[in-house]
Amino acid sequence: MDALPKAALELAKKHGFKSLKRVDIDLGQILDPIPFGAEYGQLENGLTYYVRCNPKPQMRAALALAVKVGSICEEESERGIAHIVEHLAFSATKKYTNHDIVKFLESIGAEFGACGNAYTSFDETVYELFVPIDKPGLLSEAISILSEFSSEIRISAEDLDKERGAVLEEYRQGRDASGRLSEATFSSIMEGTKYANRFPIGLENVIRTAPAEVVKQFYQKWYNLQNMAVIAVGDFPDTESVVKLISQQFGQMNSPVPPITQEPNIPFHHKARFSCLVESEASGTTVEINWKMLNVEPKTVGDYKDWLIGVVFRSALNRRFTKISRRKDPPYFGCSAAEVELVCPVKAVQISSSCKEKNILEALKSVLTEIARIRLHEFSEREISIACANIMSEIESAYLEREKMQSSTWRYQYLQHFLRKEAVLGLEFEAQLCKSILPQLSVSMVSRYSEKLRMSKSSVITITEPRATVTEKDLQDLVSDTNSLEEEGKISPWEDDFIPDEVVQVKPTPGEIKHQAEYQDIGVTELILSNGMKVCYKCTDFKNDQVVFKGYSYGGYSELSESEYLSCMLSSSITGEIGQFGYKPSVLEDMLAGKRASVNTELGAYTRNFIGDCSPSDLEIALQLVYQLFMTCVEPEEDDIKRVIQIVEEVIRADERDPYYVFTNRVSRIKYGNSYFFKPALVNDLPKVDPKKACEYFDHSFKDPSTFTVVIIGNLDPAMIQPLVLEYLGGIPKLAEPVLCFNLDDLKGLPTTPPISIVREIVRSPMVEAQCSVHISFSIKLCGGTMMEEMWFAIFLSQLLQTKMTQALRFKHGEIYSVSVDSNFGYSKPSKTADLEGEMTIEFSCDPNVSSALVDIALDETLRLQEHGPSEEDISTVLEIEQRDHENELQENIYWLFQILKCYRSRLYTDNLGSTFQVLDKARSRARQTLSPLTAKWALQKILPYPCKQHYVSVTLIPETNRFRLLKHQLKTQLKEKYYGRYMKTVDKVWKVFARKHVSH
């Protein structure tokens, strides 16, 4: 290999997976229990450690403290205590107090939440940090924080009272329809076990009243070093020094022997169990089947082969589900099979489907019939080959990226090794196993996996409906009928589609390069093609197996009239079902088997876009899809249109059941006026959809190449990129007349009428359980020669406000779980000359009873910053967080893609990409250099309305408390659909009479 020229070495490295040798399969071979690539061991006190050097991302470390303690360890009176301990860890420890841990993390650019967080599950609690390590002492300090979590969490009555509000709000957030259904579904699956009523969030009463002494006793009882592991993966110079740091921070600690824990009894059953859930706020109608089994990680090559058979089976089954969902009058809109971990000792094969209301039995019958069909007739050779090709493609991608895996990915693998005894084999050995095993899998081997999915194998069927339409007896009868059909052999074999060999049947005539420019400072090449398309590409080595691209053209929904808007807004969904690339979606998926290439379309307010992601080896396929997009004329087909409209109708009905629906609509109406662009679609609007108009608009949107600019970023072969671009992008025919061709200042703005004074509203919505959401927004207008710097100031101010709101609303008052602050200019019309308008929003959820007071606190804190400015420490934190984010982004292809697109779309762009990039980069530098307490105060007054309390929008969602209105709402939602029109007028009349007699004015 050393004798090969450099180019050949690079090629061998790039295509290493193809030359990777298969291994002889010994099914009895024990998989290595030592985790690959890690310095792994135990300290004398029982603490386990994993340390790995990993250069991606540079000068960063992903750390974790894993504790084998979760809610399953709690007694009935302790339900929620494990989660409370996790919260208290970031509040105060022996060394840190008053959320000093959070302040330290933010001071080094590790934003709380994104970089420092934790979770509590049934079986474990895990604390995770992602920190920079480019300065002396940072790694040692971060490991010190983990050591504090292990044994030095301070648990006083005062600490506990400060954190109860945040935990209660997290509890409240989980009590929406989705949370209630998840709990009910899980309880039905795990019925008969302790897990069924040990949800990590706990009980409201325990959260509100648990004394500090009870929390402390739980912490001291269960947090033992023998139950813990420290994981450190990062850009370290060596592992020995990190192990030494861990030993220094943890080595002097000792814990009593942890209590002996018994695995909870898991009763498996030989008859199917059924659960019918009715949820008036449900987002849809679903059928879910779980087949429970022991969660045993592979210990031998034979175990690994069995696991791989399951992966192939589910891949092939999902392909069938997708094809069924696209048939005429399908039984479900979507259906998928997956293997999921329910709790540490139990996993399940889970099949989930979503369907129309009142279509539960058809959906369930289809799923059970398909599994029975496989038992009777097996898969076809082609189905298995397609599934294996797709799996092999995923393995190849992981193998090619093995040297550039993120530290957080390795951290996760070592966590699983400690918590689940999951083997960490290393991607090279795992790729060899897959290359050796997959070709040996026969159709019969894979098809036999369906025997695991018999209804006698600890199966649980759970259905969810907004209104009850079926009973457990209906489900039992259907299962029995399907079993009888299988026993009698009355299920016919599967019939598959014809699949063309090539995406592009007739290769296009390549275009030519009319102009080429090189921008050396940013490593970019720009081409103007003979059909007028502008293509810009940048070769990077951030990832071995990634190329991303995006093409855009000006002119979007804002150019449409109100009468056109609804049809055109659905055009992407309608054409997506028909086939935007000249083939039915299910056929195209088969054509792309084993390929890593995808292209999607996106129609927006001001632009039309296509977005792609592919492997470097499949760039030609991805560009062929773009060529097909421009060459395809989509013709509306009745069955596809009907299916899309049904899906949209179900989505609208689900939205209307959501208590947040009226809230989000009211927020939009207040902020943007009564504009059709922001109005939600109603079921009654759907008959107005013109499928022909929708397809025509989509075709015109991707027809004229001369209006598009395309940016391509990734691991590109310099010798191949231009020929491919010329053939498939340059080969798109130039039109005789331009189509949807707009200059920047020709664009129409969205029809909006924002408020010009204070708007403060309460929105009441009927709810099953109390939820509350707060939206505060300030209008922003940027203008003049300092606009670019002011945009950066808006970003800095968003971070500043988020930090200060978290400190005020969570850490000081203890009333929220999290707060989001964001600046948004998305609805402002692109222009070379016009002002840039946008908004800054503050959003959080809380107890409805304190929502008004918290709005006042948020406004007071914003006004205080406007009048007095932030501190030097605040500014330092904002700059550090932004700088650390920027350093990470510079190593990502997606960042460069959007930065270059941002340059092209900037009002400063004048046909010189390099100079525009430099101007924008300098604007960031100037904004950073000039940001100080004084300039931040100036920006808060200039960019936001000043004083802010004289011009803002505040909308708060709270539960409907009028019991008579709630009764009316419940009557409406419970009436059968077919009776709605007949009885609603009567209900309204009765209600008016009833209200006059009983409701006080």
Neighbours of 82 (CB within 10 A): 28
- 798 close to 821: Cβ distance less than 8 angstroms: yes
Residues with Cβ < 8 Å from 186, sequence gap 6 or more? 195, 196, 199, 342
Q: How far apart are CA 128 and CA 962, in angstroms?
A: 44
- Strand boundaries in 592-706, DSSP class E: 597-603, 607-614
Between CA 119 and CA 87 the distance in angstroms is 9
* 965, amino acid identity: R
Task: Write down the H helix ranges in 174-294.
Answer: 177-189, 204-209, 212-222, 240-250
Q: How far apart are CA 571 and CA 566, in angstroms?
A: 9
Q: Who's near 696: CB < 8 A, 6+ residues apart?
A: none
For the beta carbon of residue 1, count every other beta carbon within 10 angstroms. 6
- Tokens, residue 379: 């898969």
Report d(CA 362, CA 332) in Å as an integer.
8
Is residue 960 part of the annotated active site? The answer reads no
Beta bridge partners of 179: none
Produce one character per residue of 803-833: b if its CB has 16 or more CB atoms within 10 Å, e if not: bbbbbbbbbebbbbbbbebbbeeebbbbeee
Burial class (CB in 10 A: 0-12, 13-18, 19+), 353: buried
Rounded (5°) CA angle 36-39-40: 85
C-alpha to C-alpha distance for 212 and 85, rounded to whole angstroms: 10
Distance from C-alpha of 79 to C-alpha of 198, rounded to nearest angstrom: 7
Residue type, 410: W
Q: 652 and 685 in contact (C-beta within 8 Å)?
A: no
Rounded Cα–Cα distance for residues 674 and 679 (Å): 7
d(CA 615, CA 617): 5
Give all strands (DSSP E) within 691-808, no chain letters: 709-714, 759-765, 773-782
111, 148, 163, 815: the active-site residue: 163
Q: What is the 3-state secondary structure (H, E, C) of 402-464?
A: HHHCCHHHHHHHHHHHHHHCCCCCCHHHHHHHHHHHHHHCCHHHHHHHHHHHCCCCCEEEEEE
Preceding amide of 33 cis, omega within 30: no
| 86 is an active site residue | yes
Q: Which of 86, 124, 430, 650 is catalytic?
A: 86
**What distance in Å separates the CA atoms of residue 563 and residue 307, rounded to the nearest whole number?**
54
Q: Which tokens hold the place of 96? A: 């840190």
- Using CA atoms, how far apart are residues 669 and 763, in angstroms rounded to an integer? 13
Using an 8 Å Cβ cutoff, are 342 and 308 in contact? no
The whole-angstrom separation of Cα 188 and Cα 362 is 22
Q: For residue 73, what is the DSSP state?
A: G
Q: List the 125-132 sheet strands across, edge first.
A: 39-42, 48-53, 228-234, 60-67, 125-132, 116-120
Distance CA 30, CA 594 (A): 30
- Please list, in sequence order, all residues whose beta carbon lies within 8 angstroms of the beta carbon of residue 160, skipping any fewer than 6 positions away: 84, 88, 210, 212, 215
Q: CA-based Rg of the chain, rounded to a whole angstrom?
A: 30
Residue 502 three-state SS = coil
- Active-site positions? 86, 163
